[in-house]
Each structure stands twice: as C-alpha cells, then as structure tokens.
Chain A
Amino acid sequence: MKKSRLTTALAGTTIVTSMLVAGCSGGGGNDDGSKKLTFMFRGGEDEKAAYEKAVQAFETANDVEVDIIVTTADDYNTKLKAAITGRQIPDVFYIAPGDVQGYVNNGVVKDITEYVEGSETIDLDNVWAYGVDSYRYDGTLQGQGAIYALPKDVGPFSFGYNKTMFDAAGIPLPDPDVPLTFDEFVAISKQLTVDKDGDGAVDQWGTGLNVQWNLQPFVWSNGGDWLNEDRTEVTVDTPEFAETLQWFADLTNVEKVTPSPAEAQTLDTYQRWMKGEIGFFPVAPWDISTYEKLDFEWDLIPYPVGSTGETATWTGTLGIAVSNTTEYPEEATKLVEFLAADATAQQSLVDAGIQVPNLKDMAQTWVDDSTTQPANKQEFLQIVEDYGRPLPANNTYNGEWYDELFTNIQPVLDGDVTAEAYLKEAQPKMQAFLDSANEQAEQAAALN
C-alpha cells in the first residue's frame, strides 16, 4: 500500500510532466507511413470552397493527404506567426511580400528556385513576372534573386464606376482609355452628389474612398511617393504628397462629394456602393464574385490622374511558400506549383470569381470572354503588366513605418489638421520606424 503511494505520486508527476511535454510537440506525418501535408491559408467562404476543391484534385493525383487550416483574413497573420514562433510551421502556407525578408533571413521558408526552374509542369514565362518577382530575394534586395514562393494570385486594385447611375444622371460614360483628371473627377462627382428623394438630405454621392487603400494611386499619379529609391528615406513630407492628401481630405470636407464621416460611420461606403448610392469606387478581382450580384451595371476605368498625367495604382499579391522544416519538401513544392500554376486549378479559382488568372494565356481568354463582368477586364491586366506598383511596405523588412501614417490620420480627414502639418509631424516618426526596420534587416542578414 505504502509502496504504491510513492509510486502513485511519482507516476503522477511523470504523467503530468510528460503530458505537458507531449502537448508542446506533435505534428508531422502519419503513423501508417502515408504522406501528409498541412496547408494553411486564409479567405472567405467562396475562396475556401474553391481552394478545398483544388486541394482535393491534388490529393487524388498525387496520393498525398493534405490537412487544410483556413482562417479569416484578419486572423491569418497572427495565427501563422504564433505557429511559426511555436515551431509548428505548416508545410505550405500563404506569405505576404512584406514578410519575405524576415522569413528568409530566419530560415522559415524554403528556397524553391531549383525545383521551380527545373520543373516541366510550370512555365515561369507564362506567369505574371510581378507575381513571381515579389517573392524573389537575394539577401539584400527583394525583387531579385532566389524564389521563395509562387504567387497565389496578383490583385490589381482597379477603379470602377456605377454605369447605371451615370446613365440616369445623363453623364457621358468615362473613356476606359483616357483617364479623368483630378478636376474632371471632382466635377463629375459633384454632379452625382444629389438628394434623390427630396427629403433635404443627400442620398447619392460621387465617391467615398478609404484612405488606407486609395491614397496610393492619387499620390503616385501626382508625383509623390512614400520612400526614396533605395528605401532608406521616408518621403511623405514632400509638397506633392501633402497636396494630394489635402485634396483627398477635401473631397469630403470642401467638395462634399463623399458621405460625411458620420454618414460613413453609420454605413460604410462599401455597403453604400453596393446599394447603388456611390458613383466611383475601387474594384479588385476578389470583389467580382460579390459585385456580379449587384443590381446595377458597373465597369472599370483607370484611376484619375494628377500632375504627372500617368495613372497609377497598386497590385496586391499573396504568395504560397514551403516551410523549411517540412518532411516532404518535394510534395509540398508540388502543391505550391499546382495551386499557383495548374491550368485546371486556376480555371476553378477564376470561375469562382475570386482572382485574375495567374497564367498569361488563360488571362487573355478570360479578358476576351464578353459574357462575364466587368466588360473592361483588360484594365486588370494592364495594371498587372504595366502600371501597377507594389504597396509601399511590400519590400521593406516590416511595415511599422507604413502603418504609422494611418494610425493618427483621422484629424486630417475630418478637416481638423492640414495635411502639410500632419505629414511634417508624421515623417520623423515614420523615419525612425524605417531606420529600425533597416537595422533589423542588416542584423538578420549578418547572422546568415
């Protein structure tokens, strides 16, 4: 009895301890010897369904089991980073261009150049260069060197307008080949901003743009930018930048062609656009499946142009990378290649209305198909091939410096602070974050 008491206590301690230790490890292949990969990605319902289908096709063709971990867009980054710091890295996962440098320097993602270039099933020349180049990194500069991921998609952030509203107001439709100027854009917006039901309150607006996603096209087109060439200096305190931000804020406060901040708070402009209350609004490929169901007609046009006369916008992208710790690098890379460039898989994703085809030849067929919305799909391809730029923080070591601009910007949009005064104050803070990011990049590179 007494002996068992000691044994019980010791056994208890051992069991508890070993359970705790066991709880911290785990993962990896199957007991029965079959190959198993985990694939972590993010997306809404449509996207999830489309990717599950594609993954199933891969499983059947390759005799590999793939466990899917899907999160919402908001949660993805946090969950992935927690998995990485906890050394539970999924075999295959989405990676943002802004994370490439950090993950490469710390050995999280695998260099897949050799496999991809030697592969017979993927023709890199047929994939958007912007998509692939976003995941190249040579140890000092991103955009060149070894390939660390293939694009899941490229996301040209285009501009659209409500055709039905233009027709009803008797305004000639904008030319898809000749961008509007800032002034023309404001003039048309003013014409569209009206009180339709005559109750004294405006219920239709020219536009309504989110500063975080729409400021870039206007700043670039007006000759401003966030960074200098070698990404060492924050240049938001230039007159061009200030002028554009002021113009952007004035759309609400001076021209009054957008819902007021209070109106935008009760129902955001995205919802109002979908209700047909807004004339100009951004359109990205992932919106197509939703916008197809709208009860008005819409189409794409280039962004309005500022002093440079050149239209500009950004192209988003997300990559699919292979973990450095995967047990089955070959199968994992195959899965990446399949999702990024397999014709059947791409077709099913395009049919789901969530992206532009990654394959150039397929994209051309998609553009030529006049049965699907929008009519001017060519604009998407022009952005990808021609005038789309990466988001400012895509090629820096981290995005803290970039986020800083938007954290305290509300007073400018409310008209309480001038753009010039705000940017003068923000620049040193952003510069400090950028310096620290560049310092970390150097430190991490030195360790390799």
Chain B
Amino acid sequence: MAHARADAPAGTSSAATIVPGGAPRNPAGISSTPPPPRPKRPRLHRREHLVAAAFVAIPVVGFLVFTLYPLGYSFYASLTSWNGLSDPQFIGLKNYVTMAGDPYFRKALFNTFFLMIGIPIGLILSLVLALALNRKMAGTTFFRTIYYIPVISSLAAIAILWQWAYNGDFGLVNQALGLVGIDGPNWLMDKDTVKPALIIMSVWKGLGYSMLLYLAAIQSVPRSLYEAASLDGANAFQQFRSITLPMVRPVTFFLVVTSIIGGAQIFIEINIMTPTGGPEFSSASVVWYIWQKAFENLQMGYASAMSIVLGLIVFVITAIQFRVNARNSFSVD
C-alpha cells in the first residue's frame, strides 16, 4: 500500500514537467522571459510529496531513534566509565585497553567462534537432507514438516528441553547412549563436552531452515541442464558437483553470511543452558559476557566497548565474504 502511494508523486511531477530538484525546465537562451508560471496543481503536488514523506518518515524515524542513536550512544558510552545509574564519566580509550588485556574477553571470543563449527556441519547436513527430500518418495511432506518444527519453536523452550536432555543422570541423550552401552558424560557440566553439546543443539535447531532454502534452490535449477549433462554421459555425482552445487551457491552464500552474523550473537541458549557461563567459562559467548558485564556488574561502558568491537569484527568478516563471493561469482545465462 505504501509502495503504491509513494509512486504517485513521481507520476504527477513528470506530467508537470518538473525535474526532481523542483526547478522548471528552462531552455537556454531565453533568459529575458519572466519565470514560467508555477506548476499547475502545486497544492496536490506538495500534498503528494508530504504524504510520501510522512510514510517514509516512519521507517526513517524508527531507524534514527532505534538504530542510529543507540549505535552512536554505544560508541560514546564505550569511551566512558558508566554504571547505568549515574552519569557516564569520560575516560577515553581505557575500556579498549582493558579489553585487550582481558583473558575472559579473549576466551569468550574463542568460544563464540568455536561454536560456529556447527555452521558448515549444518550446511552439509541440510544440503544432503534437501537432496533426499527432493526425490519423489512417500512421506516427504511429513519429513519436511518434522525438520521444520524446531525452526518455528521458541529458542528458549528448545534450550530448556535440551538442557533436560543433556542431564547427566536421567537425560534423554545419556539414556539413549546407555542403550548402546555408552556411559555418557554430564554434557553441560564438563568443560570438554559443553561446546559440542551446544553445537549439536544449534545444528538440530537450524537444520530445517537451511534445508528449506536449499530445497527451493534445487527445485529451481532448470531441468534442461541435467538433461544435457546426462546426454553427455555425466553420472549422478558429476551432475551434483557441476550443476547442483554451483546453482545453489547463492543460497549457500546467504546462509553462511547470516549464520555467522547470527552465530556471533549467540546468547539465549548459552544463558539458559549454562547460566554461569559454563564450567571454567567454557561456554560463555561474547554477547553473554557483554550482558554479564552490563547487567550483573553494571559496567555499561566496558560492555559497550566490547559490543563495538564485536560489531566491527562481524562487519569485517561479512565484508570479506562479500569480496570473496564477488570474485567467484558467475552467470549461467
């Protein structure tokens, strides 16, 4: 609706021969003539512009108030000592210096990236699943639904369920392992198993979403490509490698970028499943550490500085990915 109305002023203005700047067209050399009359329906024109501006204003104001202002303020706060209660005290770059020497920040950063091991695993699994579910066989709709249920479930609820499943004594996971004679660890209480446990959960949670995107991408690959390839004698694996994989590339790129951005901000499952940051700080993520500093220790300034650094890291990684993608891109047209 907003779109249709936003178009309207453009139409009117061209009818009134007005360039976007608002100045009337004035052929060169006829400078002596008085200025041409003002456009015909100026009120309507102005009104249309106002309407457009009012609609544009909603997202713009939203962006200014809820994104740009907090971002700017975070940057300012990162240069202060601020507990969130009294006024911030400017201290220059001291927070950044502290951060450089803070072993917990480094550990949280390491943990966060370690947990991203789940991203390639999830991508491979979901591609395999998408290929399997793309075949004409009974029950595909059923399985698609099953895999999609975790995606639409609340992450908090899922985290609590998995927390129970990982319980060392009566959890579902260890009971299942017990059936095949394995004495499972206490997953979330052991510093060596807590990260794999979180990775397994996040792979499971994200599988349906990536699978659905891959499925759509696979189904939009033109049949003619496969036909031509099989006429040339390419076997199924060669077809997959040379046709399917390159054709779903944009989806892979999209998933990698969004997963890394999302993975850098992992928080909810950490905070619910390991509320103290895990044994020996082994599952604390950067956002969890930021949250702890800001709201447990009331060090808003330091927390803001860490947020800024995290934001920069994510920005740089994403920029690199776009660079690499642009270099490798191609067209099949």
- Contact surface of A with B, Cβ cutoff 8 Å: 2-3, 5-6, 9-10, 12-13, 16-17, 20, 74, 77-78, 81-82, 84-85, 102-103, 105-108, 265-267, 398, 400, 407-408, 410, 440, 443-444, 447
Contacts and interface: CB of A to CB of B under 8 A. Distances in A.
Interface residues of B, number: 33
Contacts of B50: 6
7 contacts: A5-B51, A6-B50, A13-B61, A85-B84, A85-B298, A443-B89, A447-B87
B295 A81 contact: yes
Contacts of B84: 84-85
B298 A6 contact: no
Contacts of A400: 297
B281 A266 contact: no
Contact of A9 (B51, B296, B300): B51
Interface stretch (B52-60, B199-207, B248-256, B310-318): B52-60
Interface of B is mostly: helix
A78 B296 contact: yes
Given A266-B169, A267-B169, A407 B281 contact: yes
Contact of B86 (A9, A13, A74, A447): A447
A265 B85 contact: no
Interface string B37-52: 0000000100100110
Contacts of A84: 84-85
B85 A74 contact: no
A437 B65 CA distance: 34
Which of the listed residues A77, A102, A107, A108 has the most CB atoms from chain B within 10 Å of its own CB?
A102
Contacts of A440: 81, 83
A5 B5 contact: yes
A389 B8 CA distance: 76
B275 interface: yes
Contacts of B280: 407-408, 410
A141 B61 CA distance: 48
B85 A106 contact: yes
B51 A398 contact: no
B189 interface: yes
Contacts of B5: 5
Contact of A266 (B86, B168, B275): B168
Contacts of B61: 13, 17
Contacts of B279: 410
Contact of B57 (A3, A13, A407, A408): A13
Given A13-B57, A13-B61, A440-B81, A77 B186 contact: no
Interface of B: 5, 44, 47, 50-51, 54-55, 57-58, 61, 65, 81, 83-87, 89, 168-169, 186, 189-191, 275, 279-281, 295-298, 300
Contact of A444 (B51, B86, B295): B86
A31 B135 CA distance: 64
Given A78-B295, A85-B295, A265-B190, 17 more contacts: A9-B51, A13-B54, A13-B61, A17-B61, A20-B65, A74-B275, A81-B295, A81-B298, A82-B295, A85-B84, A102-B83, A102-B298, A107-B85, A407-B280, A410-B280, A443-B89, A447-B87
Nearest to B167: A266
Given A85-B295, A266-B169, A408-B280, A6 B54 contact: yes
A110 to B, nearest CB: 15
A85 B297 CA distance: 12
Contact of B47 (A6, A82, A102): A6
A33 to B, nearest CB: 31
Contact of B58 (A16, A77, A410): A16
A78 B296 CA distance: 6
A399 B54 CA distance: 51
B270 to A, nearest CB: 14
Contacts of B298: 81, 85, 102, 398
Majority SS at the chain A contact face:
helix
Interface centre among B83, B191, B280, by most chain A C-beta atoms within 10 angstroms, is B83
A87 to B, nearest CB: 10
Contacts of A17: 61
Given A78-B296, A266-B186, A444 B83 contact: yes
Nearest to A433: B297
Contact of B54 (A9, A103, A105, A443): A9
B169 to A, nearest CB: 4
Contacts of A5: 5, 51
Contacts of A20: 65
B89 A77 contact: no
Contacts of A443: 81, 89
A376 B54 CA distance: 75
Give the residue among B169, B186, B295, B300 with the most A Cβ atoms within 10 A: B295
B85 A12 contact: no
A85 B51 contact: no
A158 to B, nearest CB: 26
Nearest to A266: B169
Nearest to A99: B298
Contacts of A398: 297-298
A13 B169 contact: no
B85 A108 contact: yes
A107 B279 CA distance: 36
A106 B296 contact: no
Nearest to A429: B103
Nearest to A262: B186
Contact of A85 (B44, B81, B85): B85
A440 B216 CA distance: 56
Nearest to A437: B297
Nearest to B190: A265
Given A16-B58, A265-B189, A2 B297 contact: no
Contacts of B168: 265-266
A58 to B, nearest CB: 29
A9 B55 contact: yes
Nearest to A409: B280
A14 to B, nearest CB: 10
Contacts of A103: 85
Nearest to B293: A400
A107 B83 CA distance: 12
B58 to A, nearest CB: 5
Given A106-B83, A407-B281, A443-B81, A12 B295 contact: no
A45 to B, nearest CB: 19
Contacts of A77: 296
